[in-house]
Amino acid sequence: MTRKRLDSLLLGTAAVIVFVFSVFPVYWMINTSLQPNNQIRTVVPNFVPANFTLRNYETVLFDTTRSDFMPALGNSLMVTISTVAIALVFAFLASLAVTRFRFRSRKGFILAILIIQMIPAEAMIVSTYRVLDSWSLLNTIAGLTLVYVATVLPFTIWTLRGFVNGIPIDLEEAAMIDGCSRTGAFWKITFPLLAPGLVATGVFGFIQAWNEFLLALVVNSRPEMMTLPVWLRTFQVATGTTNWAAIMAGSTLMAIPVVIFFLVVQGRMTGGLVSGAVKG
């Protein structure tokens, strides 16, 4: 039986190592953000906040001379929310078309969606910049939203398509036999069943748009039009060697909504990603 003991000891140790390695950076971010900046610049780091303070959060949130957090938060919220709303409506319509109807270019459309998803944004930055520039959409909420809608659409359509497919059409047909119109049957029967799918897909879109860095960096470069990731990077470069505590406070603030949303939908993440994938 000692063999078994040893086994479980080893497994437990491995589990703890994985846990510590995964969590430590998150812990360190929060730990640093809760200490006065001069306290973190010591030879022996404080592994718990020795002089607990919320000053760094105050600096990031309200010291407008040093941090543009609030305007960036506003931009991020506007872009992200509009992106999710528009992408959901458009993707919903498209997913209905490809699931509830048979038509000639149906397969072609789905194939195109999968292929478009694989075009790297890194390659598209310059032409996207130029096209938006020619429409005077650089440094606007509308321009960045438009780009983001296109970025999240393929994944959103693909995922929603799966959800609609999962709702048997028999239910609609039964309602139609009972005297519902086709549209009525859809709204009364299928749509409510689709709600969780819409929420999950919407949250994926939210996370992607909220985290997106490259396109925001290129398209909305003016300080007053920055989104949170671009702000965080600018803030880090500007104060990098002098105020890591404030940078960690900013990082924490930016990560909170994503982590919460992520935990809400994570269960659907793996399946969704394996079939039709986008990484933020």
Partner 1 sequence: MSTHSPALEVAPGGADGSRQVAPVPPEPPRPVHRRRRSARMAPMVLLIPASLVLIVVIGYPLLQLVIMSFQEFGREQVFGKPAPFVGLDNYVRVLTDSQFWAVLGRSVAFAAVNVVVTMLIGTLIALLLTRLNKGFKLLVSVGLLLAWAMPALTAVIVWGWMFDTQYGVVNYVLGMITGQDLHGNSWLSNPLSFFLVATIIITWQSVPFVAFTIYAGLTQVPDEVLEAAQLDGANGPKRFFLVTFPYLRSIFLVVTVLQVIWDLRVFTQIYALQGIGGIREQTSTLGVYIYQTSLGTGDYGAGGAIAVIMVVIMMAISLYYVRQSIKDEEL
Q: Which member of 35, 56, 83, 128 binds partner 1 (CB under 8 A)?
A: 128
Q: Which member of 64, 165, 181, 242 binds partner 1 (CB under 8 A)?
A: 165
Rule CB under 8 A: say whether 251 interacts with partner 1.
yes
Q: Which member of 6, 58, 62, 109 binds partner 1 (CB under 8 A)?
A: 109
Rule CB under 8 A: say whether 202 interacts with partner 1.
no
Site for partner 1 (CB under 8 A): how many residues?
Answer: 111
Piece of 54-62, 63-71, 74-82, 229-237 that binds partner 1 (CB under 8 A): 229-237
Whether the Cβ atoms of residue 35 and residue 51 lie closer than 8 Å to each other? yes
Q: How far is CA 171 from CA 100, 176, 180, 191, 197, in A?
A: 13, 9, 11, 11, 17
Rule CB under 8 A: say whether 222 interacts with partner 1.
no
Interacting residues with partner 1 between 51 and 70 (CB under 8 A):
none
Q: Which member of 34, 79, 146, 194 binds partner 1 (CB under 8 A)?
A: 146
Rule CB under 8 A: say whether 141 interacts with partner 1.
no
Q: Which member of 62, 103, 187, 191 binds partner 1 (CB under 8 A)?
A: 103
Cβ neighbours, 10 Å, residue 268:
18
Cβ neighbours, 10 Å, residue 212:
24
